[in-house]
């Protein structure tokens, strides 16, 4: 850039600024400014033509006055005239004034555009840079219309200087962000990708920023950037800090460029080319290795730059979710940061580990840090770090540690920051339900939750408790006893009164045999809370009283006296008054049989998506395509039905009875219970149920080539991205129990245009129709741009099978019918139930399955690194129980499980023998059915 000569110091400007600073009051400052404005105005209107220096000086003063907060309504033309100057300093001030003060609707915009065009065509790099900076700073639609075609041409021209290329790339990025429809995609797009090979790292950095934004909108046009980005990243991470001296920041080679390249690679799936994929894996391993090296400087800038590259590399590892070794290593590296003295690092580590917990490969590794995370929850001073610790505990929770995590979260809830209490309550409620093996524990947990943080327990939480208690006969008596004891506390939260009123009204008879909880004592206990409650809760209690009359005729007189009281019959609230009148008349004139019919026990409620989970999703933000991989714990299997106890069950109709199958998978029969409308405060969620399962789509061959690219990745995992192209992303979250399964399919619209006539159906070919039942709930016919649609598939395994069903998707995009067919990862091993066995039992059963047709053995070459922890994770993910200490050779892996189908159960034993020297495996499977042995062997061997 040209040096500024001493004569360009503008002494008059310096004197004016000094005068302003020396003003003792606001009035004195305004007086001085007005005097200067009058002087400048007279100079501009004078007959004598001003030279370039004077114009520059006065325009600078106007700019300074504007920056002080005063309006400027003249001087624009003089600033435009400065653009035609051949002096750098004058042209610079002109562009600066225009960038700050000229409105895009100004009448001068045409003159400004002409001056910019002249500078862009001048081939003077200094003037070109000034013009490009001005375009980017203004960034208006008018600027985009005028220069959107010119800037790309400058960017890819062979004779453009490096500094101009940098400015052109960033200028084009600004125009694309403000007016993407005006930036034409043409032949320059292929050429801009090759800027990643440029010798000048400044050009590469600017070009990478541009390509990231362009690739997010048009991934196919920039797919070739992946190989170039990997090559450039490889050269950076393997270079010494002295090799890139101009771009080394505190001993870290080109950290900003490295971060941008890693971010660019996150726009695409893992490279298909084995050589590129291997080189990228080497880069990521090198970055992880460097993180373990002693720091080369004690200054914070060094650690910041080093960690920035590390965290972006971990984000890429998580995004690809295909390298188990890297995922485990990334988790271990983040684990070291959990106790770092720097708060920001602890926060980032917790945030990244939340995402790592969603991977089947690294979930177990994340769980090893549970004690550290719990300690962070108790000791962290920063509330944002504590919130991330809560998120991580939620993400790492599974059946093995659920009770510990829920207990710790309940303990923390008593002292938690008020801003995150509601979210913790929702997460505790979800985890307690999801992992409740013993539902008495679930009831205790929710009642404890209400006791500790009743004000933050939303209606969805206590509705859900009611539904589970009604749908499970084995917990009803315990729930009645527990709420009765909880209500005896002198101070009860109103939500506890609601739960108690409902449960005692339905199941109080189960504890009435105990003299300590006789019908009259139950009624007196509930009525003692009546006058302290709000109107909706009082309405619920009145419904409980009329239920008592049916359950306990001996308290009929006592309850009728309460209903007859003036406080009820003449209540100011019309809802309470009406209930009291109607319930009193019902109890007086109805026979015992009629009362028993009208006030019979509530039937099991229909199943639907958990309203607690839906509330947590709303609190976290609306679903986007990226939400598919964001949180493993949003894979919910227990789906919520409705509860409305605010009025008597006068219209309940049950079309068919159902067992307490909370998954809702065991029966396709509808259960419709329609309680009459309660008060307006009763949540409509309680009677809003999903429509019943619709039949699968038409049987027949799929209308498009079947994609199975990611099929094998789901053999040992249950969630992730199944399919992705430039228009649509399909994600899966699924859970299986015995011979039943439920799969949540997420369709993400990656474009800004709405999908129309959207339909998704499941096709089972030939023999598979009799072996596997797949019922797909109907999907909405439209998906808005950038939005996500969820479809639920209910799956039943009738008998063992080999083939997989196909998901057929059709929709209209931009007037064109799109057909996509994807193989659904429903494999036989999904219906495994792990079986723990002792060494003696295992080998006894192994000998029993010694018939030739019962054993399948395969020896094969290892396709991935033979890492012990990764192998264990894959075997567990396959569905069997990993049996430690059973095989005499400790390097061998032994597993056991039972395949559940509707017609039969098939026991399975497996043994995996690795030979690290030869890089080979020997896999042996024994089951009671030869077809099952062969299929399981084929599936599992493909994972190693």
The Cα–Cα gap between 41 and 181 comes to 42
Contact yes or no for 329/288 (Cβ under 8 A): yes
User: Which structure tokens are listed for 459?
Assistant: 């209606």
C-alpha angle 67-92-142 in degrees, rounded to nearest 5: 80
Q: Is 285 exposed, middle or buried (0-12, 13-18, 19+ CB in 10 A)?
A: middle
Contact yes or no for 781/759 (Cβ under 8 A): yes
Is the dihedral angle over the CA atoms 386, 388, 390, 393 positive or is it negative? negative
Q: For the chain, report the end-to-end CA distance as a whole number of angstroms.
A: 58
Residues in the chain: 944
User: Which structure tokens are listed for 855?
Assistant: 């054993």
Does 61 carry a binding-site annotation? yes
CA distances from 834 to 368, 809, 881, 890 (A): 21, 34, 4, 20
Does 59 carry a binding-site annotation? yes
The Cα–Cα gap between 663 and 609 comes to 10
Which pairs from 697-702 meet CB under 8 Å and 24+ separation?
697/759, 697/760, 697/761, 697/762, 697/763, 697/776, 697/808, 698/761, 698/763, 699/763, 699/764, 699/769, 700/763, 701/763, 701/765, 702/763, 702/806, 702/808, 702/821
The Cα–Cα gap between 229 and 248 comes to 19
Residue holding tokens 């029993």? 848
Q: Give strand ranges (E) for 727-879.
A: 728-737, 740-749, 756-763, 772-776, 788-797, 806-813, 816-823, 832-834, 855-861
- Does residue 723 sit in helix, strand or coil? strand
Does 11 carry a binding-site annotation? yes
DSSP state of 46: S
Beta-carbon count within 10 A of 241 CB: 15
Contacts (Cβ under 8 Å, ≥6 apart) of 661: 667
Reference 606, options 562, 639, 567, 647; nearest CA is 639
Residue holding tokens 């139930």? 833
The Cα–Cα gap between 330 and 891 comes to 24
DSSP state of 50: P
DSSP state of 602: P
**Consecutive H or E run containing 566:** helix 566-569
Question: Could you tell me where the DSSP H helices lie in 255-401?
Answer: 255-265, 274-292, 300-320, 324-337, 343-356, 363-367, 370-379, 383-396
The Cα–Cα gap between 399 and 836 comes to 15
User: Which structure tokens are listed for 513?
Assistant: 């045999």
- CA 357 to the chain's CA centroid: 12
Phi, psi of 903 (to 5 degrees): -95, -30
Does 815 carry a binding-site annotation? no
Phi, psi of 179 (to 5 degrees): -140, 70
User: Which structure tokens are listed for 591?
Assistant: 């026979």
Helix axes of 519-528 and 473-487: crossing angle, nearest 10 degrees: 60
DSSP state of 913: E
Phi, psi of 638 (to 5 degrees): -85, 120
The Cα–Cα gap between 360 and 92 comes to 57
Does 53 carry a binding-site annotation? yes
The Cα–Cα gap between 648 and 594 comes to 13
The Cα–Cα gap between 103 and 97 comes to 11
User: Which structure tokens are listed for 452?
Assistant: 């500790």
As annotated, the binding site includes 11-12, 43, 53, 57-61
């Amino acid at each position: 850039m040209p040096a500024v000569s001493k004569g360009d110091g503008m002494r008059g400007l310096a004197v004016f600024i000094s005068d302003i600073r020396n003003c003792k009051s606001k009035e004195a400052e305004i007086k001085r400014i007005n005097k200067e404005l009058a002087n400048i105005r007279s100079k501009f209107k004078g007959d004598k033509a001003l030279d370039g220096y004077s114009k520059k000086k006065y325009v600078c003063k106007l700019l300074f006055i504007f920056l002080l907060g005063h309006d400027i309504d003249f001087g624009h033309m003089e600033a435009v005239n400065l653009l035609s100057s051949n002096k750098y300093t004058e042209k610079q001030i002109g562009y600066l004034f225009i960038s700050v003060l000229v409105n895009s609707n100004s009448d001068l915009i045409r003159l400004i555009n002409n001056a910019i065009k002249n500078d862009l065509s001048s081939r003077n790099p200094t003037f070109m840079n000034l013009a490009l900076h001005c375009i980017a700073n203004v960034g208006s639609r008018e600027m985009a219309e005028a220069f959107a075609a010119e800037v790309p041409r400058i960017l890819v021209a062979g004779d453009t200087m490096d500094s101009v290329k940098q400015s052109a790339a960033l200028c084009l990025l600004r125009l694309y962000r403000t007016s993407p429809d005006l930036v034409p995609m043409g032949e320059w797009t292929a050429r801009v990708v090759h800027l990643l090979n440029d010798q000048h790292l400044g050009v590469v950095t600017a070009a990478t920023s541009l390509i990231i934004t362009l690739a997010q909108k048009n991934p196919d046009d920039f797919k070739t950037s992946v190989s170039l980005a990997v090559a450039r990243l490889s050269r950076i991470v393997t270079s010494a800090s002295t090799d890139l001296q101009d771009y080394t920041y505190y001993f870290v080679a080109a950290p900003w460029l490295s971060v941008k390249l890693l971010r660019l690679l996150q726009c695409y799936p893992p490279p298909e080319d084995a050589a590129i994929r291997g080189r990228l894996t080497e880069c990521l391993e090198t970055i992880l290795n460097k993180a373990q090296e002693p720091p080369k400087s004690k200054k914070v800038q060094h650690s910041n730059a080093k960690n920035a590259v590390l965290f972006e590399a971990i984000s890429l590892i998580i995004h690809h979710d295909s390298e188990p070794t890297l995922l485990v290593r990334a988790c271990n590296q983040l684990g070291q940061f959990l106790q770092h003295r720097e708060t920001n690092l602890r926060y980032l580590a917790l945030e990244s580990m939340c995402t790592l917990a969603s991977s089947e490969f690294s979930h177990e590794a994340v769980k090893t840090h549970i004690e550290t995370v719990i300690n962070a929850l108790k000791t962290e001073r920063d509330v944002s770090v504590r919130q991330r610790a809560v998120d991580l505990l939620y993400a790492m929770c599974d059946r093995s540690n659920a009770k510990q995590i829920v207990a710790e979260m309940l303990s923390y809830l008593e002292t938690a920051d008020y801003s995150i209490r509601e979210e913790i309550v929702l997460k505790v409620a979800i985890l307690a339900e999801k992992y409740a093996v013993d539902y008495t524990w679930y009831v205790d947990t929710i009642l404890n939750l209400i006791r500790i943080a009743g004000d933050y327990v939303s209606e969805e939480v206590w509705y859900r408790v009611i539904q589970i208690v009604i749908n499970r006969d084995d917990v009803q008596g315990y729930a009645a006893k527990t709420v009765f004891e909880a209500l005896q506390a002198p101070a009860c939260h109103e939500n506890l009164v609601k739960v108690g009123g409902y449960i005692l009204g339905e199941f109080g008879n189960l504890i009435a045999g105990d003299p300590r909880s006789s019908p009259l004592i139950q009624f007196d206990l509930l009525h003692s809370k009546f006058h302290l409650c709000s109107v909706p809760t009082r309405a619920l209690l009145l419904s409980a009283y009329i239920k008592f009359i049916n359950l306990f005729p001996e308290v009929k007189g006592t309850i009728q006296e309460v209903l007859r009281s003036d406080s009820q019959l003449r209540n100011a609230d019309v809802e309470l008054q009406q209930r009291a009148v109607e319930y009193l008349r019902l109890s007086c004139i109805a026979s015992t049989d009629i009362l028993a019919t009208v006030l019979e026990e509530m039937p099991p409620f229909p199943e639907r998506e958990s309203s607690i989970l839906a509330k947590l999703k709303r609190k976290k933000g609306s679903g986007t395509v990226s939400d598919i991989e964001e949180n493993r714990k949003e894979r919910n299997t227990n789906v919520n039905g409705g509860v409305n106890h605010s009025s008597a069950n006068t219209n309940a109709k049950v079309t068919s009875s159902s067992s307490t199958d909370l998954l809702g998978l065991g029966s396709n029969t509808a259960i419709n219970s329609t309680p009459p409308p309660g008060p307006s405060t009763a949540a409509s969620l309680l009677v809003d149920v999903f429509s019943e399962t619709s039949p699968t789509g038409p049987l027949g061959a799929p209308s498009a080539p079947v994609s199975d690219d990611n099929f094998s990745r789901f053999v040992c995992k249950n969630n992730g991205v199944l399919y992705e192209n430039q228009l649509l992303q399909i994600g899966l979250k699924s859970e299986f129990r015995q011979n039943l399964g439920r799969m949540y399919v997420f369709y993400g619209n990656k474009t800004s245009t709405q999908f129309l006539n959207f339909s998704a159906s499941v096709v089972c070919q030939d023999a598979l129709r009799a072996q596997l039942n797949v019922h797909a709930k109907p999907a909405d016919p439209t998906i808005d741009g950038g939005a996500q649609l969820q479809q639920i598939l209910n799956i039943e395994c009738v008998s063992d099978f080999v083939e997989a069903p196909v998901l057929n998707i059709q929709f209209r995009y931009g007037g064109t019918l799109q057909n996509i067919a994807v193989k659904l990862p429903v494999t036989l091993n999904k219906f495994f139930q792990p079986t723990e066995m002792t060494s003696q039992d295992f080998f006894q059963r192994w000998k029993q399955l010694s018939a030739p047709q019962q054993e399948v053995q395969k020896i094969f070459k290892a396709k991935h690194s033979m890492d012990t922890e990764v192998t264990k994770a894959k075997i567990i993910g396959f569905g069997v129980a990993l049996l430690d200490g059973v095989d005499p050779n400790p390097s061998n892996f032994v597993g056991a499980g039972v395949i559940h189908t509707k017609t039969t159960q098939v026991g399975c034993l497996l043994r995996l023998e690795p030979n690290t020297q030869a890089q080979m495996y020997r896999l042996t499977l024994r089951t009671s059915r030869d077809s099952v042995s062969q299929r399981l062997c084929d599936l599992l061997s493909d994972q190693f």
